[in-house]
């Protein structure tokens, strides 16, 4: 059952998703539940709006407009990307929803039909979280990059909390049977993308991408990481060329350091100065071994010469004895 979040949970999931959050005084208890006798929840979707005005935070959070008492959304999102908490209960933002549209978001359908009054209507304020994003809504006022990024984060945070897909993200113009047109307008950019026009489809795609990452992820962070097979071939070629040129795991400098290091090794117990010098460097070991091999070679050569002399002496004795 998708019960509404407590104020603390609401703030926590937003901050975990990287949203800058501010609390409007009294927001934790300000709602439209008691005044209407209706209960907020179970919640089924998030509904996104533009404010169609500027400096509208007080209006959304506390003042409302004639005929429509506040709170007018759960979150007011400023151009700076700051999210102000306006309510954790029932808020006046959705109005009547076409049942066909409502069901497509509730059921997380991959397509969303145009809202039809003929399908029946329900009170959207019972079932949806509302985000009022500050924008004139005149089709030319731009959503700054930081504002759009926060907007995606807010929607992803709520979906992530409830285990919803991005198909639970709706726009007012997709559910209203009263001819609403929000949200709309140009977006400055997002991730590696430059200026584009706001569309519900692109917005859901951006929320979906976010949901495939951890809450702390930033758009565009991993887009340069993927290596093409051409990149991999280039790297392989460089490695082979380096190995063929004599480079490898050990560079010349490594080998030089290895031979001259003061790293101590146990000296041979029969070395002449073993009593006073029980440890040798690697270089001392190599020098000692080389000297020993030379001495052995000289001894073998000397032994061979003596054997030849002995053979000659034996042959001389044999010939004298007339053998
Ligand atoms: Zn709206």
d(CA 127, ligand 1 centre) in Å: 15
Percent helix, strand and coil across the chain, each to the nearest 5: 40, 15, 45
d(CA 78, ligand 1 centre) in Å: 15
Question: What's the CA dihedral at 83, 84, 89, 95 to 10 degrees?
Answer: -70
d(CA 192, ligand 1 centre) in Å: 28
Tokens at residue 181, please?
């047109």
Tokens at residue 91, please?
């808020």
Q: What residues pair up with 128 in beta bridges, in sequence order? A: 45
Per-residue pLDDT of the chain (323 residues; tens, 9 = 90+): 699 999 999 999 999 999 999 999 999 999 998 999 999 999 999 999 999 999 999 999 999 999 999 999 999 999 999 999 999 999 999 999 999 999 999 999 999 999 999 999 999 999 999 999 999 999 999 999 999 999 999 999 999 999 999 999 999 999 999 999 999 999 999 999 999 999 999 999 999 999 999 999 999 876 555 667 777 777 777 777 777 776 555 556 655 666 666 656 778 888 888 888 887 777 777 888 888 888 888 999 999 999 999 999 999 999 888 86
Q: Are 115 and 100 in contact (CB under 8 A)?
A: yes
Residues with CB under 5 A from ligand 1 (ion): 49, 172, 182
d(CA 105, ligand 1 centre) in Å: 16
CA 73 – CA 94 distance, rounded (Å):
9
In the chain, the domains with their CATH numbers are 7-225 (3.40.80.10), 229-321 (no CATH)
d(CA 182, ligand 1 centre) in Å: 5
d(CA 43, ligand 1 centre) in Å: 18
Q: What residues pair up with 132 in beta bridges, in sequence order? A: 49, 76
Complete DSSP assignment for 164-175: --GGGEEEHHHH
d(CA 283, ligand 1 centre) in Å: 81
d(CA 281, ligand 1 centre) in Å: 80
């Amino acid at each position: 059952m998708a019960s509404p979040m407590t104020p603390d949970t609401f703030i926590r999931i937003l901050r975990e998703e990287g949203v800058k959050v501010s609390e409007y005084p009294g927001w934790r208890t300000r709602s439209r539940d008691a005044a209407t006798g209706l209960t907020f929840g179970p919640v089924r979707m998030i509904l996104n709006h533009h404010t169609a005005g500027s400096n509208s935070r007080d209006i959304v959070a506390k003042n409302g407009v004639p005929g429509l008492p506040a709170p007018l959304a759960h979150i007011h999102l400023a151009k700076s990307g700051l999210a102000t908490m306006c309510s954790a209960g029932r808020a006046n933002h959705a109005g009547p929803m076409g049942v066909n549209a409502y069901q497509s978001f509730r059921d997380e359908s991959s397509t969303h039909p145009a809202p039809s009054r003929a399908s029946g209507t329900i009170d959207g304020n019972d079932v949806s979280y509302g985000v009022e994003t500050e924008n004139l809504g005149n089709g030319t006022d731009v959503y700054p990059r930081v504002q759009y990024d926060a907007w995606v984060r807010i929607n992803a945070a709520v979906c992530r909390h409830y285990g919803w897909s991005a198909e639970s993200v709706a726009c007012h113009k997709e559910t209203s049977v009263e001819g609403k047109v929000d949200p709309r307008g140009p977006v400055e950019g997002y991730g590696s993308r430059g200026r584009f026009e706001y569309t519900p489809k692109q917005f859901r795609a951006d929320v979906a991408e976010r949901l495939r990452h951890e809450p702390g992820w930033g758009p565009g962070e991993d887009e340069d990481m993927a290596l093409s097979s051409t990149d991999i071939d280039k790297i392989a070629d460089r490695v082979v060329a380096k190995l063929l040129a004599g480079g490898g795991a050990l560079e010349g400098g490594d080998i030089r350091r290895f031979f001259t290091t003061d790293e101590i090794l146990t000296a041979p117990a029969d070395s002449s100065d073993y009593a006073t010098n029980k440890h040798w460097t690697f270089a001392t070991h190599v020098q000692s071994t080389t000297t020993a091999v030379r001495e052995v070679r000289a001894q073998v050569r000397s032994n061979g010469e003596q054997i030849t002399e002995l053979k000659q002496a034996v042959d001389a004795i044999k010939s004298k004895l007339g053998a």
